Amino acid sequence: MTTVYIAEISLSHRFVGSAESSARRMNRMLAEGRIQTYGLSKDLTRMWVTFLAANEGEAWEIAVKLPVHGVTDPIVTPLSTYNQSLDLRFPTIVWN
C-alpha cells in the first residue's frame, strides 16, 4: 500500500541561484510521476513536495533525489489524509 508523504524544506540563500534549474528538475519529476505536487514560497525560503511511497525508506530515497538535497535536510512526514481540488489548469468547456 502506498502512502502520501510531504517533504517540508527550509531553503538557504544558496538555493536562490539554482531556483530556475531546480524548477526544471522538479517539473521533470512531476512528469515522470516521481512526485505529486510541489510548491515554493515567493521569497524562495521554503518548499513543500508531496509524493507516494510504499514505506519510509522509499520516501527517503525520493527525498534525497530532490534538487535541494545537499543544500538542506527535508522533514519527511507521512500523511493520514491528502485531498486536492481538480486540476484547473485546463480550460473549461462551455456548451453555449
Q: Which of 2-6, 14-18, 85-89 comes out lowest in average pLDDT?
A: 85-89
Cell numbers for 49: 513536495
Residue 26's closest CA among 1, 9, 3, 43?
9
How many of the other CB atoms lie within 10 Å of CB of 90?
7
Residues 23-59 have pLDDT tens digits of: 888 899 999 999 999 988 888 888 899 999 999 999 9
- When the candidates are 3.40.50.10790, 3.30.70.1060, 3.40.50.2000, 3.40.50.410, the CATH number that belongs to 3-78 is 3.30.70.1060
Residues 6+ apart with CB under 8 A from 81: none
What's the CA gap between 22 and 17, in Å, rounded? 10
pLDDT of residue 17: 65
Most confident of the ranges 42-46, 55-59, 70-74, 81-85: 55-59
Coil, helix or strand at residue 58: helix
pLDDT at 78 over 70: yes
Strands 46-53 and 75-78: unpaired
